[in-house]
């Protein structure tokens, strides 16, 4: 591809050929951390520790609540 536009990017983020690999790793890490977390708060804390500059906190909050069964999707 000549242009990659990450769905939850922050203005100024670099969007290059490494973006899909970063996203894939983030999703894998989310899947690893989900069963370890007691609740969405713990999951958010774990992901924030792994990716402190990831941005789109609202997306993480919703995803964590859905993954932990606290929000019906």
Domain count along the chain: 1
- In angstroms, the CA 14 to CA 27 distance is 19
Residue 67 has pLDDT above 80, yes or no: yes
Residue 44 has pLDDT above 80, yes or no: yes
**Is 20 a domain residue?**
no
**pLDDT at residue 54, rounded to an integer:** 86
- Cα-Cα-Cα-Cα torsion 9, 22, 35, 8, nearest 10 degrees, comes to 10
Residue 24 has pLDDT above 70, yes or no: yes
pLDDT confidence tier of residue 32, bands split at 50, 70 and 90: very high
**pLDDT at residue 16, rounded to an integer:** 77
> Are the CB atoms for 67 and 41 separated by under 8 Å?
no
- In angstroms, the CA 17 to CA 22 distance is 10
**Is 28 a domain residue?**
no
**Is 48 a domain residue?**
yes
**Is 11 a domain residue?**
no
Highest mean pLDDT out of 11-15, 33-37, 55-59: 33-37
Residue 8 has pLDDT above 70, yes or no: no
- In angstroms, the CA 73 to CA 70 distance is 10
| CA proximity to 29, closest of 44, 13, 9, 12 | 44
Radius of gyration of the chain (CA): 13
**pLDDT at residue 11, rounded to an integer:** 76
């Amino acid at each position: 591809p000549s242009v990659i536009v990450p769905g939850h990017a922050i203005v100024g983020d670099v969007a290059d050929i490494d973006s899909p690999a970063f996203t894939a790793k983030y999703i894998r890490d989310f899947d690893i951390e989900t069963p370890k977390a007691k609740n969405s708060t713990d999951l958010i804390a774990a992901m924030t520790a792994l990716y402190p500059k990831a941005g789109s906190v609202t997306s993480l909050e919703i995803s964590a609540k859905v993954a932990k069964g606290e929000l019906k999707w």
